[in-house]
Structure 1
Amino acid sequence: MTFSLLARCPETGAFGMVISSSSPAVAARCAYARAGVGVAATQNITDPSLGPRLLDLMEAGVSAAEAMAQVVAEAPFIEYRQLLCVDRQGRVASHSGAKTLGVWALAEGQGAVAGGNLLAQKGVPAAMLAGYEAASGSFGDRLIASLQAGAAAGGEAGPVHSAGLLIVDRESWPVAWLRQDWSEEARPIEELTRAWQVYQPQMAAYIQRAKDPEWAPSYGVPGNE
């Protein structure tokens, strides 16, 4: 039903994740990140409260593993949940309950973790991690490469219809929060990739608009001469 990768950029300290699913609007329910704190995913039979809970614990100073252990110990119906997180030091943690759907797998690396359920085959998360680690370019480029690698390895057992890319950096808001909430043609990863290609060259300007609009490029916005 879902496959995702979460990471901390070793060069910038930014946090980000990519995710795709056959379900609509997967990123709206499953993707959470907080600048200077970490990134968390709550998927499978999703409880959206668990992503913010993991981030709250990591913000309070515990490690990814400690945050995960506490959530697993306290959350109801944890046997249905698949959870992943990365903390401010790049430490990772993951959990898949006994009632995770279909073929599922997790893959943990240095500063990155991938996981999925209802997969075409167990190697999908490992392929995502390898794709991320082998990719060049910006942090967002590497995240997109991991999602493409997961799809190339089989992805979900059925067609996917939604996808998302979330990045937080130095600001209190996401510097990139791109979502394809429903693709009738089952091409959300391709559509998300194209959205990133359009957005990435303008991302710094959008940050500048928020911080100092007098000096921010307009990119031809009507009425802004």
Structure 2
Amino acid sequence: MTFSIVGFDPKTKELGIAVQSKFLGVGSVVPWAKAGVGAVATQSYANTTYGPKGLELMEAGKTAQETLDALTSEDEQAEFRQAGIVDAQGNAATFTGEKCYDWAGGVTGQYFAAQGNILVSEETVQAMAKTFESTEGTLAEKLLKALDAGQDAGGDSRGMQSAALLVVKEKGGYAGYNDRFVDLRVDEHPDPIKELIRIYELQQLYFAPTKEENILEIQGEVRTELISQLNRHGYLENTTEVNDETLFQSLTTYIHTENFEGREQAQGKIDLEVLNYMKK
């Protein structure tokens, strides 16, 4: 009742999972990952111990395939399980028990494993694989595009309900305190993958670092537009003869209220992404 893809980026060392299912809150069950260790997707009558146990085994030095073999060999109900694993060296493995509901199966390639059950056909898994291999961009972008392609190829034969994206990276979480680089869930939605993509774009807006080419000097047309937008949003009452200090204080209040601290610039400058958001 689920299709997923686990992946690894050899350049950034990111590990992640993207998943969709006709199941409420699939993100609370399927994806497990730890930076520098590996990523696990456990599904089809999911044995959620595959997540923490799988990560423990890989942290102890087991490869993805060795980990999957160990997990299934100890599980008396392995015939009903499905799982995909990628380790921190990029090795991938997938498993589909003989009693998983058709269509069920998986495929591995360089740095990824894609799998699904109760699918319209195997085209969903093949589409995920081909898209992951051919897509340029970040690991999150590759996983999302692969998931979307899987849905376009048929997806879960019962329909859609929830989706999730988990990407881990050393000190990749908020303020560098944990490894949850991207951790997003859509628990109930008529089109969960599209909604997940929308939320991911918001996550990037709020938390991705400012691009050097997007740092603008607050002068001329930029200054005029900023004053107009701050006034429109209620952060600046008087728009005539606004001095630099007042403008800076108003912009700072807006940035802190709207959670754009990650894109805050020195006085006299603004991130273009923030200004564009204000215009919407």
Deviation at 1:43, TM superposition (A): 0.1
Q: 1 CA distance for matches of 2:254 and 2:95?
A: 43
Corresponding position: 1:156 with 2:162: no
Alpha-carbon offset, residue 95 of structure 1:
1.0
Any conservation in 2 of the 1:84–1:95 contact (CA below 8 Å)?
yes
Deviations 1:5-26 (A, max 9, x none): 0000122110011000000111
Amino acid at match of 1:189: I
2:244 is matched with none
Structure-2-length-normalised TM-score: 0.72
The amino acid of 1:127's aligned partner reads: A
For residue 256 of structure 2, give the secondary structure of its aligned residue in structure 1. Answer: coil
Q: Counterpart of 2:8?
A: 8
8 Å Cα contact 1:105-1:123 kept in structure 2: no
Measure, in 2, the Cα distance between the counterparts of 1:126 and 1:153: 9
User: Which of 182, 195, 200 is the matching residue for 1:196?
Assistant: 200
| Shift in Å, 1:51 | 1.4
Q: Taking every aligned residue pair, what percent have the same amino acid on both sides?
A: 34
1:21-42 deviation line (CA, Å, top 9, x unaligned): 0001111101000000000011
Counterparts of 2:56 and 2:139 in 1: how far apart (Å)?
Answer: 24
CA separation in 1, counterparts of 2:186 and 2:165? Answer: 9
Q: Look up the equivalent residue of 1:46 and give its one-letter code.
A: A
Normalising to structure 1: TM-score of the pair?
A: 0.89
User: Is the CA contact 2:7–2:139 (under 8 Å) kept in the aligned structure 1?
Assistant: no
1:219 positional shift? 7.5
Structure 1: how far apart are the matches of 2:53 and 2:75?
A: 10
| AA aligned opposite 2:186 | Q
- How far is the alpha carbon of 1:75 from its aligned partner? 1.9
Paired residue secondary structure (2:160): coil
Check 1:102–1:223 CA distance in 2 against 1; reply closer, same or farther (3 A cut): closer
Q: Does 1:220 align with 2:255?
A: yes
- For 1:1-225, list aligned pairs within 5 A: 1-171=1-171, 172-183=178-189, 186-204=190-208, 220-222=255-257
Question: Equivalent residue of 1:220, what SS?
Answer: helix
**More helix by proportion, 1 or 2?**
2
The answer to which structure, 1 or 2, has the higher relative contact order (CA under 8 A, 6+ apart) is 1
User: What letter corresponds to residue 16 of structure 1 in structure 2?
Assistant: G
Residue 70 of structure 1 aligns to a residue in which SS? Answer: helix
1:151-175 per-residue CA deviation (whole Å, 9 max, x = no partner) reads: 1111111211100000001123311
Cα offset for 1:187?
0.4
> For residues 115 and 9 of structure 1, what CA distance do their matches in structure 2 show?
19
Q: In the TM superposition, what whole-angstrom CA distance separates every residue of 1:62-105 from its partner, at most 9, and x where no partner exists?
A: 11111111111112311111011001110011111111122112
Local SS of the residue matching 2:51 = helix
Aligned residues: 212
Structure number with bigger Rg? 2
